[in-house]
Chains A and B, each alone.
Chain A
């Protein structure tokens, strides 16, 4: 086995995969949120739809997005495999369960991950798939030389249904918990731990874990309740 394989099949190597893909997804979430906040603009979907058009047609973005899909899958499958190993490392469970000292979310990252993944499938089926292959209405905006797909319209329809809004909010709660542990944990796995900057990582992680899911959750809530 050469060093590369050995490294990425070792416990620490596999955790590093989780850490690096996790950090990539953390960066992606920021960009994704900034883009999606266009939905809140009161411009009949102009900024959002043109943004969506840009994202689906730009060559560079397209390349990066393939990386993104790969990382999501890698993060998910590696995570599940690790959880399986972890679960089977203690075949005989404790009788007493009153002694759990670690945070709930840190012990249930896999469950949270599965929830998020399920949410993601629904989310992508709803919008991404329709954007890529499905039949969406076309709109033409002034100043643009060609019509674009009206994803904004599709989103508005979806977020006017209460159950979809509810699922989105639940999905974001799961994401919050996942990030609450995952953000700082990614740095610990990378080996970044020092009394001087670790408190900062933890604080930034908490702020991030609150703000990002909150931002995502605001969109359906805003559309449902305000628009």
Chain B
């Protein structure tokens, strides 16, 4: 199939960037990234600068791939990362617009590559359980209800790709942050420091310059791992509780 690609080219964070047009020949069996590989091979042969994009595992789990395809993070398929999107979902003659994830908190590094280290800093601010290696009791010392464990897993399935931020009209990181808060708060091991965690992670999230959540639900629709916005409600609850009824008496 012959495709016209309109790709955002931006040479570094300071560059203004613009859309450029490319033609590429693809086949149905290719993944979207393989189609871009073909384009890049073509560009290199013409001694031009290939399109930069983040990618790694190409099996939908590492969370590296990050582009917006025809206005939708990771493209049109539900619960699918860009690397798992295949060209059979496009038609011969299609024009495809490809852009980076856009948010102030995700500055563009080059072309379709963005800097998502804000997510790392949110995790660093409290997205963990404070246990040193060797301190753990036996794995079966604390039974955890199967349902609770499954709900925690649903939240823990987040791959940190940032599609939620890219999809949100406000570029909010609430789905990402709430998924981590939920994952840990639901488990008895993590509930211990749940209040502190909610406070510090929200503070960091605010500091990074993400927008506010206005419950549009776009994040949930675009999330390749189908993380639910019920996690956002849980974070709201945790935050409210920890703010007005914190067990920490200081302050």
Q: Which A positions have Cβ atoms within 8 angstroms of B? A: 2-3, 6-7, 10-16, 82, 85-103, 106-107, 109, 181, 184-185, 188-195, 198
Taking the nearest CB of chain B, how far is it from the CB of A5, in angstroms? 11
Q: Are B218 and A90 in contact (CB under 8 A)?
A: no
Q: Are B221 and A96 in contact (CB under 8 A)?
A: no
Stretch at the interface among B34-42, B67-75, B132-140: B67-75
Question: With an 8 A cutoff between CB atoms, is B171 at the interface?
Answer: yes
Given A3-B251, A101-B221, A191-B233: A89 and B103 interface contact (C-beta under 8 Å) = yes
Q: Are B202 and A96 in contact (CB under 8 A)?
A: no
Q: Which of B99, B215, B229, B230 has the most CB of A within 10 A?
A: B215
Given A93-B102, A101-B222: A11 and B70 interface contact (C-beta under 8 Å) = no
Return the 6 tightest CB-CB contacts between A and B, nearest first.
Answer: A99-B71, A191-B237, A193-B233, A89-B211, A86-B170, A102-B216
27 inter-chain pairs at a CB distance below 8 angstroms, sorted by A residue, are A6-B243, A7-B244, A11-B174, A11-B213, A12-B235, A12-B236, A12-B239, A16-B236, A16-B240, A82-B212, A85-B211, A86-B211, A87-B170, A88-B104, A89-B103, A89-B209, A96-B71, A98-B70, A98-B71, A101-B218, A102-B217, A102-B221, A103-B216, A181-B216, A190-B237, A191-B238, A193-B229
Query: What's the Cα separation between A103 and B17 when bound, in Å?
Result: 30
Number of interface residues of B (CB under 8 A): 51
Q: Are B212 and A185 in contact (CB under 8 A)?
A: no
Q: Are A10 and B216 in contact (CB under 8 A)?
A: no
Question: With an 8 A cutoff between CB atoms, is B169 at the interface?
Answer: yes
Q: Are A188 and B240 in contact (CB under 8 A)?
A: no
Closest A residue by C-beta to B96: A96
Given A88-B104, A89-B172, A100-B71: A188 and B243 interface contact (C-beta under 8 Å) = no
Question: With an 8 A cutoff between CB atoms, is B157 at the interface?
Answer: no
CB proximity to A under 8 Å, residues B1-36: 6, 8, 17, 19
Q: Mark B101-140, 1 if CB is under 8 A from A, else 0.
A: 0111100000000000000000000000000000000000
Question: With an 8 A cutoff between CB atoms, is B232 at the interface?
Answer: yes
Given A94-B68, A95-B8: A86 and B214 interface contact (C-beta under 8 Å) = yes
Closest B residue by C-beta to A186: B215
Query: What's the Cα separation between A100 and B221 when bound, in Å?
Result: 10
Q: Are B70 and A191 in contact (CB under 8 A)?
A: no
Q: Which B positions have Cβ atoms within 8 angstroms of A? A: 6, 8, 17, 19, 68, 70-72, 97, 99, 102-105, 167, 169-172, 174, 202-203, 205-206, 209-218, 221-222, 229-230, 232-240, 243-244, 246, 251
Q: Indicate which residue in B211, B214, B239 contacts A90 across the interface (CB closer than 8 Å).
A: B211
Query: What's the Cα separation between A10 and B26 when bound, in Å?
Result: 48
Q: Are B215 and A13 in contact (CB under 8 A)?
A: no
Query: What's the Cα separation between A46 and B182 when bound, in Å?
Result: 57
Q: Are B104 and A97 in contact (CB under 8 A)?
A: no
Given A15-B212, A100-B71, A101-B221: A89 and B202 interface contact (C-beta under 8 Å) = no
Q: Are A188 and B212 in contact (CB under 8 A)?
A: no
Q: Indicate which residue in A3, A96, A97, A103 contacts B243 across the interface (CB closer than 8 Å).
A: A3
Besides A96-B68, A188-B229, 9 more A-B contacts (Cβ < 8 Å) are A15-B212, A86-B171, A89-B105, A89-B171, A90-B104, A90-B171, A107-B169, A193-B229, A193-B234
By a CB distance below 8 angstroms, the chain A residues around B19 are: 95
Q: Are A15 and B172 in contact (CB under 8 A)?
A: no
By a CB distance below 8 angstroms, the chain B residues around A89 are: 103-105, 170-172, 209-211
Q: Which of B167, B170, B171, B212 has the most CB of A within 10 A?
A: B212
Q: Are A192 and B233 in contact (CB under 8 A)?
A: yes
